[in-house]
Homo-oligomer: A and B are copies of this chain.
Amino acid sequence: MPETIVIKSDVERNAEWRDAFKDYDINVCFWNRVADKRLVDYALVWKPEPGSLRQFSNLKIIFSIGAGIDHLKGSDIVPPGIPVVRMVETSLTAGMVEYVCYHALRFHRFMPQYERYQREQQWRTIMPVPASARTIGILGLGVLGSAVAQALKPFGFRIAGWSRTAKRVGGVESYYGDSQLNAFLGQTDILVCLLPLTEQTRYILNAENLSKLPRGACLINAGRGRHQVQSDLIGLLDNGRLGGAALDVFEDEPLPQHDPLWSHPKISITPHVASMTTPSCGAQHVRDNITRFRLGKPLAHLANMERGY
């Protein structure tokens, strides 16, 4: 008898997920529509409610639909002893590479200023800065951060990275740990946040840290909303300490109507779409891991819940 996976995603994507698993030897069922909960072997989920995964008494693996596992932290979400696997798939990485390269080029080439000149019908040149004179600093050098670094390099930017522990990524000047954060920030013109959300990284994008960037530096946050202190950000943009911000994530999502971020002239907002899991690619990652599990091999991209990623 084939095994069963339960999926909790945006309901509009259910058909796509069903389709993505159709050639695999596995039953697919959807959240709140599970006939026999004891027959569920795997769960592929986004933001399950506390206690909700406990209903599946024979659960073997929990797969996160997103790259981050912060939505699975908190008491009584992951039942004891059940392994959690992060989502790593090529389209999720590709989407993040596109989003960050777009916004890095946007800031690098003064595009927000040129948009203002267009609105004012002003034909006005800003002298270009060579990419080699810009340092892009990436907070988080995991799968996404490393891919973004590699994609930015051919443009000629100087690339620096910061991570919790020392990492070696080709062509990236690597910093790590609390003691090297100031040195990293002090020379970063465009700061990119791709960190996991953990106790250590929560609100890392606060006035104190962001004030260590060179004056006029820009921020791209495609990590989590709780990495940023939104009121601090507005203050630093208003007083010119920061030159601009591209935010894909927010403390509360959807971003509440009438939030001052929406209409801030120096902020670009996207609704948490920098990068999305594509069901066909995501299903393959899940399937590969199920095969490993059945063969008794170690799982790929197993999360360390203690560490937070």
The 3 closest A-B pairs by CB, nearest first: A123-B254, A102-B105, A123-B271
Whether A245 sits at the interface, judged by CB under 8 Å, is no
Could you list 7 further interchain pairs (A-B, Cβ under 8 angstroms) beyond the known A98-B131, A130-B278? A94-B131, A98-B105, A98-B108, A98-B109, A118-B269, A121-B257, A128-B276
A125 to B118, CA, bound (A): 27
Q: Tell me whether A271 and B125 are in contact in the complex, defined as CB-CB below 8 angstroms, given that A94-B156, A154-B151, A154-B154 are known contacts.
A: yes
A297 to B257, CA, bound (A): 68
Smallest CB separation, A271 vs chain B (Å): 5
Q: List 7 A-B contacts (CB under 8 A).
A: A94-B130, A102-B105, A118-B268, A121-B257, A125-B271, A128-B278, A151-B155
Contact (Cβ within 8 A) A258 B121: yes
Output the nearest chain B residue to A106 by Cβ-Cβ distance.
Answer: B102
Whether A295 sits at the interface, judged by CB under 8 Å, is no
Whether A33 sits at the interface, judged by CB under 8 Å, is no
Whether A115 sits at the interface, judged by CB under 8 Å, is yes
A155 to B101, CA, bound (A): 10
Whether A183 sits at the interface, judged by CB under 8 Å, is no
A168 to B121, CA, bound (A): 41
Among A118, A124, A130, A269: residue with most chain B CB under 10 A:
A118
In the complex, which range does the number of interface residues on chain A fall in?
35 or more
Whether A273 sits at the interface, judged by CB under 8 Å, is yes
Q: Give 1 or 0 for each of A10-24: 1 = CB within 8 Å of chain B CB.
A: 000000000000000
Partner of A105, one of B101, B125, B253, B270: B101
A249 to B269, CA, bound (A): 28
Smallest CB separation, A259 vs chain B (Å): 8
Output the nearest chain B residue to A104 by Cβ-Cβ distance.
Answer: B102
Whether A26 sits at the interface, judged by CB under 8 Å, is no
Whether A111 sits at the interface, judged by CB under 8 Å, is yes
A155 to B148, CA, bound (A): 11
Residues of B within 8 A of A254 (CB): 123
Contact (Cβ within 8 A) A273 B121: no
Whether A255 sits at the interface, judged by CB under 8 Å, is yes
Residues of B within 8 A of A95 (CB): 128
Q: Give A240-282 interface residues, CB cut-off 8 Å to B.
A: 253-255, 257-258, 262-263, 268-271, 273, 276, 278
Output the nearest chain B residue to A123 by Cβ-Cβ distance.
Answer: B254
Contact (Cβ within 8 A) B271 A98: no
Whether A230 sits at the interface, judged by CB under 8 Å, is no
Q: Give A84-124 interface residues, CB cut-off 8 Å to B.
A: 91, 94-95, 97-99, 101-102, 105-106, 108-109, 111, 114-115, 117-118, 121, 123-124
